[in-house]
Amino acid sequence: MGSPYLVPVAALMRDVPSVRRVAFEAPFDEPHEFAPRGPAETDVFPEALVQVEVALQSFVGGLRAHGRVEAPWHGICRRCSAPVLGRSIVAVDERFVERREAGDEETYLIEGDVVDLAPLAHDAILLDLPLAPLCREDCRGLCPQCGIDRNEATCDCSAPRDPRWATLDGLRFADPG
Ligand SMILES: [Zn+2]
Ligand SMILES: [Zn+2]
């Protein structure tokens, strides 16, 4: 069985304009062809189920794909380093063309009467991933002095100083009097 991302479009291209709706749920990176960007970064697990719902609408020489892509992502909270899980829901509106003309760099190619929706889903989701997620809006982070997770416990460290005072402190200590 072929990947649901590979959609035959010969009939759509013969009969312009026509529309075909495509909806499925499948990992977009089961063959792991998209390199992971690094363990600390927000990313989608290769085996995670991605939901794709698009209408493919033919025009002369190409297809418009518009609809929605959804994927679960995982990341690290920027304040407390806890694992964070979230979900990206992205509206897509892209074009597939049989031949790229000048100015068509933003398009995907129809190859052998088939469109591959995996790169489209991948690009849409990756652009939407939060770069520095929070485990929750009011995450209190880790104490910069003792490292305790301030969401779970309190410590006796003094409140973090306002960095603007650091220079003044330095001046006072430098004063020999
Ligand atoms: Zn957090
Ligand atoms: Zn502390």
What's the pLDDT score for residue 126? 86
Task: Give residues whose Cβ lies within 5 Å of ion ligand 1.
Answer: 77, 79-80, 82, 135, 139
Kindly give the distance from the C-alpha atom of residue 131 to the centroid of ligand 1, in angstroms, as a whole number: 14
Record the tokens describing residue 164, joined without a space.
Answer: 């603007």
pLDDT band at 5 (very low <50, low <70, confident <90, very high): very high
Mean pLDDT of 136-160: 89
pLDDT band at 166 (very low <50, low <70, confident <90, very high): low
* Residue among 114, 107, 101, 120 nearest 12 (CA): 114
Cβ contacts of 82-88, under 8 Å, gap ≥ 24: 82/135, 82/139, 82/149, 83/135, 84/42, 84/133, 84/134, 84/135, 86/130, 86/133, 88/125, 88/128, 88/129
Q: Each residue of 50-72: pLDDT tens digit?
A: 999 999 999 999 999 999 999 99
Residue 125 scores a pLDDT above 70:
yes
Do the strands 50-59 and 19-26 form a parallel or antiparallel pair, or are they unpaired? antiparallel
Kindly give the distance from the C-alpha atom of residue 72 to the centroid of ligand 1, in angstroms, as a whole number: 18
Q: What does pLDDT average to over the chain?
A: 86
Residue 118, H or E segment: helix 117-128
Q: Distance between CA atoms of 69 and 92, rounded to whole angstroms?
A: 7
pLDDT band at 170 (very low <50, low <70, confident <90, very high): low
pLDDT band at 30 (very low <50, low <70, confident <90, very high): confident
Neighbours of 61 (CB within 10 A): 15
Name every residue whose Cβ is closer than 8 Å to that of residue 53 and which is 6 or more positions away in sequence: 21, 22, 23, 67, 68, 69
Kindly give the distance from the C-alpha atom of residue 79 to the centroid of ligand 2, in angstroms, as a whole number: 14
What's the pLDDT score for residue 177? 44
Q: Each residue of 82-111: pLDDT tens digit?
A: 999 999 999 999 999 998 887 777 899 999
Residue 46 scores a pLDDT above 60:
yes
